[in-house]
Amino acid sequence: MTRPGALSLRPLAPADLDTVMALEPELFGRGAWSRAIYDDELRRADRYYVAATDGGRLVGYAGLATGPDATIMTIGVAPGHRRRGHAARMLAELVGQARCVGAEALFLEVRADDEGAQALYRGFGFIPLGVRRGYYQPEGADAVVMRLPLSTRQGPGPIGSEMIEEDTRMADLDVRHRVLVTATELHELLAGPERLVVLDVRWSLAEPDGRKFYIAGHIPGAQFVDLDRDLAGPPSGEAGRHPLPDLADLQMAARRWGIDDGDSVVVYDDTGGTSAARAWWLLRWAGLEDVRILDGGLHAWSEIGGILEDGDVLVEPGTVTLSADHMPVADAGDAASAPARGVLLDARARERYAGETEPVDPRAGHIPGAVSAPTAENLDAERRFRPSEQLTERFASVGVPEADDVVVYCGSGVTAAHEVAALAAIGVPARLYTGSWSQWSADEARPVATGLQPATD
């Protein structure tokens, strides 16, 4: 028996058409399709329709026209069942089907005044192409045309004219969606029946005490995470400013936040994910499989009208059991040899890489052979992760696609986690040098390079 509130997907069937026709006017107005059109659509070999059910009841449906350039024909969720993740799950299913049949791109039209739907599609990597005036009839509403590139083969670009073969390191929607969550999706998840733990990880070098901001206002139900105390061990010259915490201490903190085995977790901050990514990486390293970063952080949450609550949130202690080494790490020796095997990325600001300034650590400069790739360049003007195509191009320009081994470091292993997340969002695995520059520069025996060009000797 299907339990009440259980969300699931299945193929849309002719037996569903009575429900479909009852929902159609509510979802799409007087321009809705007729039963005859739907009956014809379900019989066509070049169509793929999926139904969303809640507790066994059909509450939404979506359709795809397949082909080299696939098109989403329809997607909708019944009033009263929205903001529960149905739309995102159906969209993911259609995207996956389009990829399975070899489509090179996926198109859709969305109402120009439906900002929530546009945010959902942008979160999946869709790019606006233009506006069709008066597309939706009879009301004459405008539509925004959006496109999602599905082919993983790239034309001439920063790495030359050779075509890149499809593999796990290319831009992949499903991979991006496992790293990032949009504010609209988070809103739907919080309104749904499934357990979700939200963590507030506000922190910066200039203002490490994020708790006062958390108390003043945070996403409802969020737990505060102290980066210095919860996500790092005691600092030292030998280990760096933010070494990995003891696993037992991290497990104790995770249980304090109310995490159980199998829980989904969303982490956020107000700095484009640059501190939240440390929690994302560390919890993934400790064995949690479903951890995502809120793309755009609190700014994105406010943009969709998300409310804030103040004060502490009390939760029942969780029972999660953590284990180490589920994410790849690098030590100082790995960082030293990485340029010979692959690429070593320095995620700090370019002036720190060049040795022009060093506000925190013992020596200025960078690890010989490292390439400058500042974390800030992972983000757009709205402090969201750049679209997958742009991230792919950015990392191609520093040699990532050609590298067999990618190692990333920053000042102390915090913002480098953001770079690892950006790489993971396009399917590129990377190792985090956890000690980073704070550990490297504290040892006078280790060489230091300066200037903007990588030095190899």
Residue positions annotated with a catalytic role: 410
Structure tokens at 20: 């479909």
Q: Which residues pair with 49 in a beta bridge?
A: 63
DSSP state of 366: B
What sign does the CA torsion over 364, 369, 370, 372 have? Answer: positive
DSSP 254-310: HHHTT--TT-EEEEE-SSTTTTHHHHHHHHHHTT-S-EEEETTHHHHHHHTT---B-
Closest CA to 76 of 5, 22, 149: 22
**Residue of 259, 243, 241, 263 lying closest to 251 (CA atoms):** 259
- How many angstroms separate the CA atoms of 341 and 236, rounded? 29
C-alpha 424/C-alpha 273 separation (Å) is 14
State how far Cα 124 lies from the chain centre.
9
**Dist CA 433 CA 330 (whole Å):** 4
Cα-based distances in Å from 240 to 280, 372, 409: 20, 20, 12
362: its two tokens = 């013992």
Q: Which secondary-structure segment (H or E) carries 11?
A: strand 7-11
Bridge partners, 72 (sequence order)? 64
User: What separation, in Å, do the N-terminal and C-terminal C-alpha atoms of the chain show?
Assistant: 67
CA angle 210, 212, 213 (to 5 degrees): 70
- 396: Cβ–Cβ under 8 A, 6 or more apart, which residues? 157, 158, 159
159 in helix, strand or coil? Answer: coil
Q: Which residue has the tokens 């790995």?
A: 334
Q: How far is CA 94 from CA 118, 123, 152, 433, in A?
A: 16, 15, 17, 38
